Amino acid sequence: MSIRTICCIGAGYVGGPTMAVIADRCPGIQVTVVDLNQARIDAWNDPDLSKLPVYEPGLDAVVGRCRGRNLHFSTAVEPAIAAADMVFLSVNTPTKTKGVGAGQASDLRWIEASARQVAACAQGHTIVVEKSTLPVRTAETVQAILSAAQGDGASGGSPKTFAVLSNPEFLAEGTAIPDLEQPDRVLIGGDDPAAIEALAGVYGQWVPNDRILRTNLWSSELSKLTANAFLAQRISSINSIAALCEATGADVQEVAHAIGADSRLGSKFLKAGPGFGGSCFQKDILNLVYLCGHYGLHEVAAYWQSVVELNGWQQHRIARLVVQRLFGTVTGKRLAVLGFAFKADTNDTREAPAIRICRDLLEEGAQLAIYDPKVPASQMGNDLGHVGGVDAWQAVGSPLAAVQGADAVLILTEWLCFASLDWSQLAAQMRKPAWLFDARSIVDLQAAKSAGLNVWRVGMG
């Protein structure tokens, strides 16, 4: 079966960029991305490509090439499903906040709702692709919902039939476009060979066949959780060693370099920092923990739980050491925070380390001046609320504005622009003795020291 029309439910950080690249690489396929969120769809349709709701380097050019040609963004969910040969489910799957499994299990209400919409609106044969990250065996639920509608031909069209595939997304925010254009691998899980080959045929238009892996449904679903758990585990591992380096006089950059030279370990993802953030790592590990508990594997659950705990500990540790270095109190002191996004090259702040660190400092009474090149003040407001009082923090327009009268500057996101800051200019605006806390190992420490700043860098003993 060759695919001519695709509908993607969910126009978020995954649905938007993924479908833009599919449309770009497959000019013969009409791709419609639908979402219930009108403001988000309006932003995807904004003639000004700098206003897209997702910031990713290169995304504006891809959308600019395809939008209106074979890439469409709409809130009209039902007709887009009805017209589609293939429907991607790319909706949010956050951690449940209440009920059974609260704090660990994924909240599947949006997956269920979108599966029900597909069941109701699809016509003829439809391949349904799980793009969201899901607990193992969710495809069974999706299949059950679709099966209940199977055979219906009430609208006068041919009877409905469905095939369900798992196709988890491995893109990383900040590098989504190159990750989608040259993926390390594409994973397709399923038990319907024709459906698998139809999806492989879409990716095959730009991805070499040996990079398209075919597995059973459950392996595919579990591989995504496992990949994120292993990646997050490396961050927690190196951050645990960073703390030990600070205590012993070792330097975590030297340690990471030395161990990364071992080809069994590899050099990637060994950067110490303020801990992982983003919408996925913590959620997916907690989901894994929940699954392990469900199957009675309590030691396995505890093992992965510790990866999340170490991450939270690292963030609180950084906030605590800032307070300690500033003579044990930050009450009433102005602190400049550079970077709020959870990583560079994204406007996403979900689970950003900056949130926990800023909250801790606000609770200690600090006054924060926060600068991020892509995160708007309104988003910072959503994340920080009124911790520390209504006027305890402000968003500012530049690093220079942030440091005015500050006792310290904290680097919490590795935006490249922070690597070339003019420390003599910045230090001149700060109250002495002044500190630089570089949680991302990105600034020129010698320049900062020469400008008279006291310096702490993560993992430098």
Ligand X SMILES: NC(=O)c1ccc[n+]([C@@H]2O[C@H](COP(=O)([O-])OP(=O)(O)OC[C@H]3O[C@@H](n4cnc5c(N)ncnc54)[C@H](O)[C@@H]3O)[C@@H](O)[C@H]2O)c1
Active site residues: 169, 224, 280
Number of residues lying near ligand X (CB under 6 A): 28
Query: Could you say whether residue 77 binds ligand X (CB under 6 A)?
Result: yes
Does residue 35 belong to the site contacting ligand X (CB under 6 A)?
Answer: yes
177 binds ligand X (CB under 6 A): no
Residue 227: CB minimum distance to ligand X, A: 10
36 touching ligand X, by CB under 6 A: yes
Q: Does 40 bind ligand X (CB under 6 A)?
A: yes
171 binds ligand X (CB under 6 A): yes
Question: What's the min distance (Å) between Cβ of 153 and ligand X?
Answer: 24
| Min dist. Cβ of residue 170 to ligand X (A) | 7
Shortest Cβ 6–ligand X spacing (Å): 15
> Which amino acid would we find at residue 12?
G
Q: Does 90 bind ligand X (CB under 6 A)?
A: yes
Q: Which is nearer to ligand X, 212 or 326 (CB)?
A: 212
Residue 189's nearest CA partner among 222, 160, 225 is 222
Q: Which stretch binds ligand X (CB under 6 A): 32-40, 138-146, 147-155, 353-361?
A: 32-40
**174 contributes a contact to ligand X by CB under 6 A:** no
Q: Minimum distance between the CB of residue 7 and ligand X, rounded to whole angstroms?
A: 10
How far is the C-alpha of 293 from the C-alpha of 284, rounded, in Å? 14
Q: How far lies 48's CA from each of 36, 52, 340, 375, in Å?
A: 22, 8, 24, 18
Which of the 8 DSSP states describes residue 251? B
For tokens 């510790």, what's the residue?
306
Distance CA 336, CA 418 (A): 13
Binding flag, residue 92, ligand X (CB under 6 A): yes
| Residue with the shortest CB distance to ligand X | 12
The residue (of 183 and 459) whose beta carbon lies closer to ligand X is 183
Is residue 304 a contact partner of residue 285, using CB atoms and an 8 Å limit? yes
Which residues 305-344 are close enough to bind ligand X by CB under 6 A?
A: none
Residues 67, 75: Cα–Cα separation, whole Å: 15
In the bound state with ligand X, the residue whose beta carbon lies nearer, of 36 and 417, is 36
Helices 138-149, 217-248: inter-axial angle, 10-degree rounding: 150
Q: How far is CA 197 from the centre of its chain?
A: 29
Binding mask 240-279 for ligand X (x = CB under 6 A): ---------------------------------------x
DSSP bridge partners of 410 = 337, 437
Structure tokens at 456: 């702490």
Residue 280 found at the interface with ligand X (CB under 6 A): yes
What is the Cα–Cα distance from 55 to 344, expressed in whole angstroms? 10
- Residue 282 is a binding residue for ligand X (CB under 6 A): no
Q: Binder to ligand X among 24, 169, 383, 407 (CB under 6 A)?
A: 169
Cis peptide before 159 (omega within 30 of 0): no
Using CB under 6 A, pick the residue from 3, 8, 15, 221 that binds ligand X: 15
Six token digits for residue 57: 């380097």
User: DSSP strand E in 181-333: where?
Assistant: 186-189, 212-215
DSSP 329: -
Instruction: Output the smallest distance, CB 103 to ligand X, in A.
Output: 17
Q: Taking the complex as a whole, how short is the minimal distance between the CB of residue 403 and ligand X, in angstroms?
A: 32
Does position 133 bind ligand X by CB under 6 A? yes
Among 3, 6, 19, 91, binds ligand X (CB under 6 A): 91
Tokens of 241: 């060693």
Phi-psi category of 51—alpha, beta or left, where left has phi over 0 and alpha has psi -120 to 50? alpha
Strand partners, 165: 129
Residues that bind ligand X in the complex, under the rule CB under 6 A: 9-15, 34-37, 40, 77, 90-93, 110, 113-114, 117, 132-133, 169, 171, 173, 279-280
